[in-house]
Structure 1
Amino acid sequence: MAKDSPAGVPMTLEPLVTRVLAPNASPYTYTGTQTHIVGIDDVAIIDPGPADAAHHEALMTVIAARPVVAIVITHHHRDHSPGARALKEATGAPIVGAAPFALSDDGPRADDAFDPDYAPDRVMAEGDSVSGTGWTLTAIATPGHTKNHLAFALPETRALFSGDHVMGWSTSVVSPPDGDMTDYMASLEKLIGRDDRVYYPGHGPEIDRPERLVRGMLGHRKQREGQILRLLGEAPRAIPAMVERMYAGLDPRLFGAAERSVLAHLIDLERRGLVAADGEAWRAVAA
């Protein structure tokens, strides 16, 4: 596992993949957003990050005089896609990947806000590919963190660029209404059926035992689900009261994210007929 480089310093992860960290560290982005440059003779840029001049210059230095085949976007959050516009202007490359998505949210955001100006030249769906000399990136639909989230497989080396669906430092924020726990769990199950050698996430170190991690993430989410059902089996509760019981010692800056995650679980459980809302409180539904 490669150690993190400082922001702006390129790190070669394998001959076809170079990583450059953006200078946007936060409680929700860890050390920052990781942009991946794929290719040798010509390249694709995956998730160019925020609209940050220093990060843009770092990417242009790594690209040098090489042609850029595509600027590839996993999803439309402001820490992933805004840098695409300056790169497109500088290189002439098309912006491809996740579909644009407009949303009126129903509560406070617990992660980076949407990029309202994201406008891809080509929307990619499951199985769509973009390719260059000696490399191919194939879209894998992985909704959950956002409705439009895509991962990208590099079959030449059995690598997967997992965006924010699977990260190397934390579980993903799933914040309704754009985040969907039902979709997120299904997308994790989908990845277990693949034979990827390594994941390169949008945040945190690369993941060299991906199936083991994904199974652990599924188990973690099912444990959270079990906690919710046990708490509501005792008495109806509002979400803040559940978070206080479920997340002892949580960094107060992450309390909002935990509330959104619990809400996502409750919506999933409601669809399955296991819980119901009574005003601000939730209750278990008798079998």
Structure 2
Amino acid sequence: MDEPPTGIAIALEPLVTRVLAPNPSPYTFTGTQTHIVGTRDLAVIDPGPADAAHHAALLAAIAGRPVRAIVITHHHRDHSPAAIRLKAETGAPIVGAAAFRLSDDGPRADAAFDPDYAPDRVLADGERVAGEGWTLEALATPGHTSNHLCFALLESKALFSGDHVMGWSTSVVSPPDGDMTAYMASLEKLIGRDDRVYYPGHGDAVENPQRLVRGMLGHRKQREGQILRLLGEGVATIPAMVGKMYVGLDPRLAGAAGQSVLAHLVDLERRGLAIAEGAAWRRGA
């Protein structure tokens, strides 16, 4: 398969252009995708990592047009760090997801996050940012992160789905900031919509989003069933569960798989179906 082109502005539809950042990895697939919305004035969605080549590519794609907003779906280091420099270059405000805060004293997840992310305006569910010929409406979709937002382009029924829904892989849900209960509710929220296409932060456009979301819900429920069966068989630790559930997994992704299992266990614990006993777990009522 040919490598996807980085640093090249590719028109996806009249109002949407994509620029791929040069940061491929097991977690980012071919890299983080920045989407530019508009023709005369613009919104830049998830400007990506603080990479000089990607920043230059974005400025070339913007081509001197006014930027009304730098829009952030969430605060991971492959999505938001470039916002600071782009704001300095364009004068556009940073809007969207709330700044990252962990309120508990449990294991920290800060390493994956952008510590310098500071929005000028936080968008709540249903709030909008607009320019000439385009309107973006925020859709609160917590789960992958506590502050995750998707953005609906009302004029064309496209949804910028960030890391909530991706065509190449399911999202990592990593506690304490990631929350499986919230993630499942956010997927259910999308079922009630009529979006035409999803443009994710990683991977190809999703042309049949309702079918994919239903499949993702089914996949997560299948994982939940696997965990309950393993608990019933006396498999008590997360590494042991990962070994049985993710046969053939790339070893580089074992930590992420363990975090997703933990997220399911926390959700099951809330429902009384699993009980934590130190580092081990057992089945609840």
Secondary structure of the structure 2 residue equivalent to 1:160 = strand
Q: CA RMSD in A?
A: 1.5
Alpha-carbon distance in structure 2 between the residues aligned to 1:141 and 1:55: 28
Partner of 1:264: 263
Give me the whole-angstrom Cα distance separating, in 1, the residues matched to 2:248 and 2:105.
28
Quick check: 1:198 aligned with 2:197?
Answer: yes
Q: What is the match of residue 62 of structure 1?
A: 61
User: Aligned residue for 1:44?
Assistant: 43
Counterpart position of 2:137: 138
SS in 2 for 1:19: strand
- 1:108-134 deviations in whole A, cap 9, x for unaligned? 75x971100100000000011000011
Per-residue CA deviations over 1:27-76 (Å, capped at 9, x if unaligned) read 00000000000000000000000011100000000101211000000000
1:107 deviates by 4.2
Gaps (5+ residues) in structure 1? none
SS of the counterpart of 1:237? coil
Match of 2:207 in 1: 208
Contact 1:28 1:112 in 2 (8 A): no
TM-score normalised according to structure 1 size: 0.96
Partner of 1:247: 246
**Aligned equivalents of 1:233 and 1:161: distance in 2?**
40
Alignment of 1:108-187 (within 5 A): 113-187=112-186
* Higher alpha-carbon deviation: 229-238 or 262-271: 229-238
| Alignment check: 8 A CA contact 1:79 1:112 kept | no
The amino acid of 2:39's aligned partner reads I
**Residues 9 and 121 (structure 1 numbering): CA distance in 2 closer, same or farther, change over 3 Å?**
same
SS in 2 for 1:87: helix
SS in 1 for 2:138: strand
Q: Deviations over 1:184-237 (max 9, x none)?
A: 000000000000000000000000000000000000000000000001011151
CA separation in 2, counterparts of 1:180 and 1:233?
24
1:144–1:185 contact (8 Å) kept in structure 2: yes
Q: Give the gaps of 5 or more residues in structure 2.
A: none
Q: Identity of counterpart residues, as a percentage?
A: 75
Normalised TM-score (structure 2): 0.97
- What's the offset of the Cα at 1:85? 0.5
